[in-house]
């Protein structure tokens, strides 16, 4: 059974997920959108089909990275849907273009395309809240230096004209405390918004009693997976089955 994370550990996990989400989402968006657009534009000559299939394979790899990040965020293994495998005896051409007929591969590509706006918002909000908390709480270490600038005025100058440095310090520290107190809720909300997109497009329904397993046509698990899966976590037939991980 997974132990619940402490508040600090959860904030670190949520922040890490939000901050890394932006560069990964940017790379995924550019690679997948450009690759599929180029594939569609050159499909008439045949080469575009191979380019599109290669892009979908790249989307699979990027989706796997996102599943690892989701497992780290939630502190437990995740559950994914299966990828369509080429039929036995399929020729080289069908194997090379098999990703084009795989529904999950297209969902991986959709995740790369729609995840960027959510990742950008999560990144910006997380950076803003961490910066606001750090700058406010640490204001006594650096705020005084601003008053060495000739003509500098701050909010404290109007609140307590006789001692603006102290007044400004108190105001900034109070604002920093508000940022710090709301930080867990804010970064958790951003991580939840981003992870909801990933769970909807990349994962199957979760079962905490099993490690990582996938849906398989027919719902019949292999013998090795059946031996290692906990008795209470055996999935109903026709839903999802252990992959033997």
Q: How much helix, strand and coil, in percent to the nearest 5, is found in the chain? A: 70, 0, 25
| Sequential pLDDT tens for the chain (245 residues) | 556 678 899 999 999 999 999 999 999 999 999 999 998 888 877 788 899 999 999 999 999 999 999 999 988 888 888 888 877 777 778 788 888 889 999 999 999 999 999 999 999 999 999 999 999 999 888 887 877 777 777 777 677 777 777 788 888 899 999 999 999 999 999 999 999 999 999 998 654 443 444 444 444 444 444 444 444 444 444 444 444 33
For 116-144, b where at least 16 C-beta lie within 10 A, e where not — what string? bebbeebbebbeebbebbeebbebeeebe
Q: Write the pLDDT tens digit of every residue in 175-223.
A: 999 999 999 999 999 999 999 999 999 998 654 443 444 444 444 444 4
Residue 213 neighbours by CB distance under 10 Å: 23
Q: Which helix (H) or strand (E) holds 165?
A: helix 164-202
- Distance in angstroms (rounded) separating the CA atoms of residues 11 and 5: 9
């Amino acid at each position: 059974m997974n132990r619940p994370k402490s508040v600090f550990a959860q904030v670190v996990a949520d922040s890490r997920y939000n901050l890394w989400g932006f560069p990964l989402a940017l790379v995924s968006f550019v690679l997948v959108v450009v690759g599929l657009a180029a594939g569609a534009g050159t499909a008439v000559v045949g080469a575009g089909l191979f380019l599109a299939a290669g892009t979908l394979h790249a989307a699979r790899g990027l989706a796997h990275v996102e599943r690892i990040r989701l497992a780290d965020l939630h502190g437990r293994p995740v559950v994914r849907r299966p990828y369509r495998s080429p039929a036995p005896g399929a020729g080289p051409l069908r194997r090379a273009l098999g990703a084009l007929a795989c529904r999950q591969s297209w969902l991986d590509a959709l995740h790369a395309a729609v995840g960027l706006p959510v990742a950008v918002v999560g990144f910006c909000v997380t950076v803003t809240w961490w910066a606001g908390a750090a700058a406010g709480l640490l204001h006594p270490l650096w705020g005084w230096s601003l008053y060495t600038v000739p003509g500098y005025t701050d909010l404290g100058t109007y609140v307590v004209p006789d001692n603006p440095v102290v007044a400004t310090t108190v105001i900034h520290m109070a604002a920093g405390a508000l940022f710090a107190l709301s930080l867990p809720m804010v970064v958790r909300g951003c991580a939840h918004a981003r992870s909801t997109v990933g769970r909807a497009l990349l994962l199957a329904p979760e079962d905490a009693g099993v490690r990582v397993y996938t849906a398989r046509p027919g719902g019949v698990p292999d013998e090795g997976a059946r031996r290692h899966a906990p008795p209470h976590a055996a999935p109903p037939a026709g839903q999802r089955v252990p992959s033997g991980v």
